[in-house]
């Protein structure tokens, strides 16, 4: 696996606009973006970040069911 496919929380915060504090709270609460924990380091798969973003996509003009 390529290391560049994994992001630290700062990179995820920059990419998504979700603060690092919210990312930490979500991990504590067992929600949010899937992550890997290696010792004290937390890494997010780019694929998981993109999947999370797609799952929260809003399509304006489409009526909610």
Selection from 4, 5, 24 nearest residue 13 by Cα: 24
Q: Does a structural domain hold residue 18?
A: yes
Q: Does a structural domain hold residue 62?
A: no
Per DSSP, what are the bridge partners of residue 42?
Answer: 37
pTM of the complete model beyond 0.85? no
Q: Does a structural domain hold residue 60?
A: no
Domain extent, residue 9, equals: 3-55
Distance CA 11, CA 39 (A): 19
In the prediction, which pLDDT does 14 show?
97
Distance CA 65, CA 63 (A): 6
pLDDT tens digits in sequence order for the chain, 65 residues long: 455 699 999 999 999 999 999 999 999 999 999 999 999 999 999 999 999 999 999 988 876 65
Q: Outline where DSSP puts E strands in 1-65.
A: 6-7, 36-38, 41-45
């Amino acid at each position: 696996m390529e290391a560049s496919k994994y992001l630290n929380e700062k990179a995820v915060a920059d990419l998504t606009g979700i603060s690092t504090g919210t990312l930490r709270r979500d991990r504590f609460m067992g929600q949010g973006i899937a992550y890997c924990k290696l010792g004290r380091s937390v890494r997010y798969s780019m694929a998981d970040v993109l999947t999370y973003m797609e799952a929260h996509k809003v399509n304006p003009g489409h009526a909610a069911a």
